[in-house]
Amino acid sequence: MTREVFDIVIVGAGIVGLWIAKFACDRGLKVGLVEKGRCGSGGSGGLLGALLPHTPLGMNAKKRFQFDALVELPELIGAVEEQTGHNVHYRRCGRIMPIRLQSFLDTTRKNSEAARREWQGPDQSFEIDVLDSQSFGDWIDPREAPLGLFWENLSAKVSPRDLIAALRTYVARDARLFEGFTFQDFDSQTGNIGSREGRFDISTDKLIVSAGFQSFEILQSLGLDIRGDGIKGQAALYKIPNPISKLPEDCPIILDDGTYVVPQANSLLAVGSTSERQWTSEHATEPEKFEATIKRARELCPPLRNSELAELWSGIRPRSQAKDPVVGSLCPNNRIYVATGGYKISFGIAHRLARALIDEIAAGTSEIELPETYHPQP
């Protein structure tokens, strides 16, 4: 077997690994992407696809990074769609949250002022406002929002699986994609990579571990000191039997205390999510643990009340010690890098993390500054 040699091998084809592969290919690097299952078979293969910003009050480096990422995303997605022929169902649909407390109403008004200052994109500014609880018809039950609705127009949604499929098509043109390749070890002298399957003979100059929650275990096995774990989550898709006009794709995402309702294409509504610290199986769904979430979602969103379950899904979110994404070099000779997604916000920022990392590797510098807490902590 002839050994294949790469500039970069990325371990893990989730949303983060695929964007890294995309930018590395765009730079003309020789890229290998190894994935133990199929692309998107980890936490990125889910159903929600909510792209929600932090609120602008107390703007800081982290909030600014995420704002810039959300503003630039539609153009990047548009280019990937054009080149691959995939429709990823991106839509800037906005978000609403019911207001029940005077304190939340006051904060919303402050956020509205802060948005006027801080949410200025290059071509568009974004707003936060307090709207009447009936502004979206029966999309949200007005009894849930006695003091009105927090509304903003920066949030967006995407179909996670369609975006993964589009990026897979994009990178498969120039990168070598190894699905069914379980990374096992890396010899940092020779650059040789071992796989559990033993079927492949590859080596690389740089290794980027982007294996979601499993990144921590992999990097520890390479003798690196990095800590984090995985939090399981379940989400579901519901089909609305008689779609009312304008529903569901044009409606804003509903968020209320950890319960999300995300309008998706084809009269489907995505509902999430549970947060389960104790879990044994990554992919086993447990409907009884999802009951409280769907009950709450149906109280909030009347169109869900007559809907039927189309799919229940579970996945594991990576969670670093700082609960942020972790991106950067992990050893003095700059051969091993980490790039894991954030706990809940990865789909809105993965492309920007990826571009910062590839700029750094390929050119030694990037115009994108990663927030301090995203750097690997010793």
Ligand X SMILES: Cc1cc2nc3c(=O)[nH]c(=O)nc-3n(C[C@H](O)[C@H](O)[C@H](O)COP(=O)(O)OP(=O)(O)OC[C@H]3O[C@@H](n4cnc5c(N)ncnc54)[C@H](O)[C@@H]3O)c2cc1C
Which parts of this chain interact with ligand X (CB under 6 A)?
11-17, 34-37, 41-44, 46, 48-50, 182-183, 210-212, 214, 218, 233-235, 272-273, 315, 317-318, 340-342, 344-348
Residue nearer to ligand X on the CB measure, 67 or 183: 183
Q: Are 219 and 226 contacting, i.e. CB atoms less than 8 angstroms apart?
A: yes
User: What b/e sequence results for 110-146 when a residue is b if at least 16 CB atoms lie within 10 Å of its CB, and e otherwise?
Assistant: ebbebbeebbeeeeeebebbbeebebbeebbbbebbe
* Closest alpha carbon to 262 in 297, 313, 309: 297
Asked if residue 210 lies in contact with residue 12, where contact means CB atoms within 8 angstroms, the answer is yes
Measuring CA to CA, which residue among 335, 334, 323, 331 is closest to residue 371? 323
Q: Compare residues 43 and 98 and give the one whose CB is closer to ligand X.
A: 43
Closer of 149 and 158 to ligand X (Cβ): 158
> Residue 5 carries which DSSP code?
E
Task: Give the closest residue to 17 by CA, choosing from 339, 352, 335.
Answer: 339
Q: How far is the CB of 146 from ligand X (least distance, A)?
A: 27
Q: Which is nearer to ligand X, 149 or 209 (CB)?
A: 209
Contact yes or no for 262/48 (Cβ under 8 A) = yes
Q: State the nearest-atom distance from the C-beta of 225 to ligand X, in Å.
A: 19
Minimum CB distance to ligand X, residue 37 (Å)? 5
Q: Which residue has the tokens 């707003």?
A: 127
Instruction: Supply the minimum distance, in Å, between the C-beta of residue 105 and ligand X.
Output: 26
**Least separation in angstroms between CB 52 and ligand X:** 7
Residue 127: how many CA atoms within 13 Å on its side-chain side? 4
Q: Measured over all CA atoms, what is the biggest interatomic distance in the chain, rounded to whole angstroms? A: 69
113 or 197: CB nearest ligand X: 197
Minimum CB–partner distance for residue 209 and ligand X (Å)? 9
Query: 148 or 212: whose CB is closer to ligand X?
Result: 212
Give the residue nearest to ligand X (CB).
Answer: 14
CB of 147 to ligand X, least distance (A): 26
Instruction: Select 105 or 310, whichever has its Cβ closest to ligand X.
Output: 310
H or E element: which one contains 71?
helix 61-84
Structure tokens at 31: 């890229």
